[in-house]
């Protein structure tokens, strides 16, 4: 991973010789295996794979396809099993020349999350329906229906569960922790992709990556591994849904003012949605109000934070007034926090007068805490507002529609993986991970690499302005980047209008020359 290292690291060796993550946690569901212990002695493994045939209609077009659900065994150079990667592949079988058909490799984040969210919410042939108006999903039964928004008509789809998530696991002498890290994870997924391309004879197909949340971090690290490592696979496009590449924009640490700047426009969006702004500002409309918040954040507010104790009193009062305007918080509260409002405090404070909190993944959601007087929320209402439906849906779909027979627990989101993650990408002590330069380097070495970025206005996990600030730097060619915005949160596809627009935007991304 050249962009942040001075010389080639051991990860540049052939992968087999060194064989051996949703970004911030939602409510933990499913089963978390203790410490991801591997199986010490492993005979020659036969991967469990099930193939089923299906038909469906997408955008008034009838298609037929096969679903291949099962394990891929990764081995070292001696043929010893190292890991089992569970994936679900969808291949259209009604096209004449599949070799030129795009294939999209898809994963969620965490780190520690399986790929069910993008699978059952956006790309896949089935979709679980949750309330689009930011209400809790309640208990079963949930609506699971054919997904008319599926992207299977545009591209073959491969949903990947990294080691420690879904049914994927370490094998042999390997431990789960051997795969739990920015670099380690990218290496194993790159090897899986290489194996997939060989098995399905798709080396000459257009290739896309799609990641959400930490999955966008994974995508950037993976591009570097694919194009700079021995796997040598050039990618046509990368889709970053709710992007987080430079973690200095998300880590509230003393001396780091980046998050206060990057999160402010999301606070403005949230205050606007919950009617905590003036009538005059409400009349501006969301986009215009947010644009003013952007300008304030990057100019007067950023300068005030940089000046610190040198800030003149008159300037302090002016900044405080504007900060109150955009956040919906009182000036007296802003005095107490020294003009610095963290996301965790904001989600607790904005609706405190109503004894309500707002969501972190999606601030349209509201919840109630046991202690309404605390400094942070008990939980994320936008997490527990959807996780029951998605968990039920993926299990029902795996066993009923796809005929999966695996009986071991399916890890929806593993705290073991999340807590055990190795964030070091350089071999040196680093305070913040930043994989954005990998994309800039990859673009310079691949003239066809394009980047799609999807942002939710109400996302406090991966705020859109922090993403904009990341893409303004790091050597990225923004002429090959398309930014899109949706009036929803981290998983914007739970909101019907945003889902429709997101799918339309992704379809256009698959056809870069359509307008030329």
Q: Which domains does the chain have, with CATH numbers?
A: 2-248+387-509 (3.40.50.1820), 255-384 (no CATH)
* Residues ≥6 apart with Cβ < 8 Å to 470: 243, 245, 246, 249, 436
Q: Which helix (H) or strand (E) holds 344?
A: helix 343-349
Neighbours of 440 (CB within 10 A): 17
Residue 478 burial by Cβ neighbours in a 10 Å radius (0-12, 13-18, 19+): exposed
Whole-number pLDDT of residue 431: 75
| pLDDT at 231 (0 to 100) | 58
Q: 210 with 241: CB under 8 angstroms?
A: yes
Other CB atoms within 10 A of residue 154 CB? 21
Residues 6+ apart with CB under 8 A from 183: 1, 9, 11, 221, 225, 422, 425
Q: Which burial class, exposed, middle or buried, applies to 516 when counting CB atoms under 10 A from its CB (0-12, 13-18, 19+)?
A: exposed
Kind and range of the H or E run holding 505 = helix 496-509
Q: What is the DSSP letter of 38?
A: P
Q: What is the pLDDT of residue 13?
A: 29
Beta bridge partner(s), residue 87:
70, 160
Tokens of 408: 């071991």
How does strand 207-213 pair with strand 103-107?
A: parallel
CA distance 121 to 141: 17
One digit per residue, the tens of pLDDT, for the chain of length 516 reads 333 332 333 333 233 332 333 443 333 333 334 444 444 454 577 889 999 999 999 999 999 999 999 999 999 988 899 999 999 999 999 998 888 999 999 999 999 999 999 999 999 999 999 999 999 999 999 999 999 999 999 999 999 999 999 999 999 999 999 999 999 999 999 999 999 999 999 999 999 999 999 999 999 999 999 987 665 899 999 999 999 999 999 999 999 999 999 999 999 999 999 999 999 999 999 999 999 999 999 999 999 999 999 999 999 999 999 999 999 999 999 999 999 999 999 999 999 999 999 999 999 999 999 988 888 899 999 999 999 999 999 999 999 999 999 999 999 999 999 999 999 987 666 679 999 999 999 999 999 999 999 999 999 999 999 999 999 999 999 999 999 999 999 999 999 999 999 999 999 999 998 754
State how far the alpha carbon of 60 is from the alpha carbons of 128, 503, 514, in Å: 20, 15, 20
Of 175, 181, 179, 201, the residue nearest 191 (C-alpha): 179
Consecutive H or E run containing 289:
helix 286-296
Residue spans of beta strands (DSSP E) within 371-480: 450-456
- Phi, psi dihedral angles at 367 (to 5 degrees): -145, 175
Cα 144 → chain centroid: 23
Q: Can you give the pLDDT at residue 428? A: 67
Number of H helices, E strands in the chain: 16, 14
Q: Phi, psi at residue 354, to the nearest 5°? A: -105, 10
pLDDT at residue 22 in the model: 40
- DSSP annotation of 254: T
CB 109 within 8 Å of CB 117: no
Residue 73: CA atoms inside 13 Å, Cβ hemisphere, count? 16
Q: Cα(452)–Cα(328) distance, rounded to whole angstroms? A: 32
Task: Read off the tokens for 492.
Answer: 């914007």
Q: Write down how long the chain is.
A: 516
């Amino acid at each position: 991973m050249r962009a942040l290292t001075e010389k080639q690291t051991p990860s540049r060796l052939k992968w087999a010789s060194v064989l051996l993550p949703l970004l911030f946690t939602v409510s933990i569901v499913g089963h978390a295996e203790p410490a991801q212990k591997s199986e010490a002695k492993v005979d020659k493994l036969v991967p469990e794979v099930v193939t089923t045939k299906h038909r469906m209609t997408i955008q008034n077009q009838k298609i037929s396809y096969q679903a291949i659900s099962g394990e891929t065994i990764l081995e070292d150079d001696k043929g010893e099993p190292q890991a089992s990667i569970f994936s679900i592949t969808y291949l259209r079988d009604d096209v004449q020349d599949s070799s030129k058909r795009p294939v999209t490799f898809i994963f969620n984040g965490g780190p520690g999350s399986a790929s069910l969210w993008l699978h059952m919410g956006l790309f896949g042939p089935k979709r679980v329906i949750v309330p689009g108006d930011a209400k809790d999903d309640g208990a079963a039964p949930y609506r699971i229906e054919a997904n008319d928004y599926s992207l299977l008509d545009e591209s073959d789809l491969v949903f990947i569960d990294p080691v420690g998530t879904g049914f994927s696991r370490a094998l042999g002498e390997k431990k789960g922790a051997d795969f739990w890290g920015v670099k380690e994870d990218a290496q194993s997924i790159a090897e899986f992709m290489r194996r997939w391309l060989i098995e399905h004879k798709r080396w000459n197909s257009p290739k896309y990556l799609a990641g959400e949340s930490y999955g966008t971090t994974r995508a950037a690290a993976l591009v570097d591994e694919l194009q700079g490592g021995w796997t040598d696979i050039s990618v046509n496009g990368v889709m970053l849904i709710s992007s987080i590449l430079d973690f200095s924009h998300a880590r509230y640490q003393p001396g780091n003012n980046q998050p206060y700047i990057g999160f402010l426009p999301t606070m403005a969006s949230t205050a606007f949605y919950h009617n905590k702004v003036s009538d005059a500002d409400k009349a501006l409309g969301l986009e215009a109000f947010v644009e003013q918040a952007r300008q304030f954040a990057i100019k007067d507010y950023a300068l005030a934070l940089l000046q610190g104790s040198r800030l003149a009193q008159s300037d302090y009062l002016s900044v405080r007034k504007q900060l109150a305007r955009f956040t919906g918080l009182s000036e007296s509260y802003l005095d107490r926090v020294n003009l610095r409002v963290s996301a965790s405090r904001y989600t607790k404070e904005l609706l405190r007068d109503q004894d309500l909190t707002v969501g972190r993944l999606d601030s349209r959601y509201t919840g109630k805490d046991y202690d309404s007087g605390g400094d942070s929320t008990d939980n994320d209402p936008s997490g527990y507002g959807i996780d029951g439906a998605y968990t039920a849906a993926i299990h029902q779909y795996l066993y009923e529609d796809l005929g999966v027979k695996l009986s071991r627990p399916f890890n929806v989101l593993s705290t073991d993986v999340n807590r055990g993650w190795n964030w070091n990408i350089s071999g040196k002590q680093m305070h913040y991970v930043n994989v954005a330069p990998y994309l800039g380097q990859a673009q310079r070495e691949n003239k066809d690499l394009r980047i799609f970025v999807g942002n939710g206005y109400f996302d406090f996990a991966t705020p859109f302005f922090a993403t904009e600030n990341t893409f303004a730097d790091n050597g990225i060619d923004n002429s090959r980047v398309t930014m899109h915005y949706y009036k929803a949160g981290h998983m914007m596809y739970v909101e019907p209008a945003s889902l429709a627009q997101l799918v339309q935007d992704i379809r256009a991304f698959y056809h870069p020359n359509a307008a030329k």
